[in-house]
Amino acid sequence: SYIAQGIQAGFISGYPDGTFLPDKPVSRAEFAKMVNSALGNIAMSSEAFSDVPSFEWYYDDVRRAVAATYVAGYGDGTFLPNKAISRQEASVMLARIVPAYNYSASLTAYTDGNRVADWAAPSMKKIVGKKYLGAYDDGLLHPEDSLTRAQTAKILCDILDKETIVSNVTTIKTDQELSNRIYTNTVILSKDLGDEDAAFSNCVFLGSLLVQGGGEDTVTIKNCRVADLQVNKTASAVRVLAQGETVISKTTTQETCILETKSLSGGTFGTGFLQVSLGSKADTTFTGYFPSVTLTGVEAIARLEGASFDLLTVNTGGRRSHIHADGRSLITLAVVNG
């Protein structure tokens, strides 16, 4: 029934000879295509991999998966598109696309729970906790086994049935709190929001979150994953606060704004603003912890008020920029280019 549902939903299909091959392992590229088709991901990354040529059928789907930040390449610049995806690898990707705050299964309840790799364990706990992956009839998780086509169909059908997926462009004009959603398209905090507040809780943004409105109290992002955050509000400063189990993969600021982290959980799911880039004449105040901040545009201003940076980079384009740090702030490493 899951295979039939998947075919009807259009994210999986059979082979020209009339077979489906339900037990066939799924490759990394095939998994990306199925996920993108099921959720409706459209944004594409410009990141290139040496083994993903533009003429291959999976080229665009790999770019969509990278843009949505649920996959990444390897250290040698490859993606290994034809490599069979294991159940624990799939759990890592799935934990990046579904809201999973407050879900955590005990892996010690399974005899082979100790076979789950350390890098996959936090994600496996969440995905097993949400019941998208579970034990076989033998009571084992089989984390290192390849995920099959039939298993993928079931997982994605379950996600479509259980999750609230918003695939249209969403514009928010009024003060409100939104929770437990997967946004696969652009979300815009409109200028019409003015200086009012907005809050997101336990949401996943696979497209861009554009902040064009909101006040100093506050756009709150709590227990969320955001692929791409762009802060570009004119007139007055907007404050964006990251809390709890929140990861914002890429942030770009263009105007005056405040970025703050508070009570982050740390670890896999709570690193806050992973990479922040300041554009030309961006005036950004930082409070809290930030792994990496880059000044990319001319005359940018970074103000550290009780902030901690692991890495501050000033690119060649960041000439005539200014950095102000109070006595409570710390920059572990600063790199100035040009």
pLDDT of residue 1: 81
Has residue 297 got a pLDDT over 80? yes
Out of 131-140, 142-151, 193-202, which region has the weakest mean confidence (pLDDT)?
Answer: 193-202
How much is the pLDDT for 216? 76
Average pLDDT rounded to a whole number, residues 26-30: 96
Q: Domains of the chain: which residue ranges? A: 2-162, 165-336
| Model pLDDT, residue 214 | 79
Residue with tokens 């940076």: 309
Instruction: Give the mean model confidence (pLDDT) for residues 281-291.
Output: 96
CA distance 25 to 30: 10
pLDDT at 153 over 80: yes
Residue 235 or 148, more confident: 148
Rounded Cα distance between 282 and 297, Å, is 8
DSSP-based three-state secondary structure for 231 = strand
pLDDT value of residue 333: 97
For residue 198 the two structure tokens come to: 């907005």
3-state secondary structure of 4: helix
Instruction: Give me 215's structure tokens.
Output: 């006040």
Q: What is the DSSP letter of 84?
A: B
- Chain mean pLDDT for the chain: 94
- The per-residue pLDDT for range 78-117, each reduced to its tens digit, is 999 999 999 999 999 999 999 999 999 999 999 999 999 9
Please give the structure tokens belonging to residue 27. Answer: 């490759």
Q: Which residue has better confidence, 57 or 215?
A: 57
- For residue 292, pLDDT over 90 is answered with yes
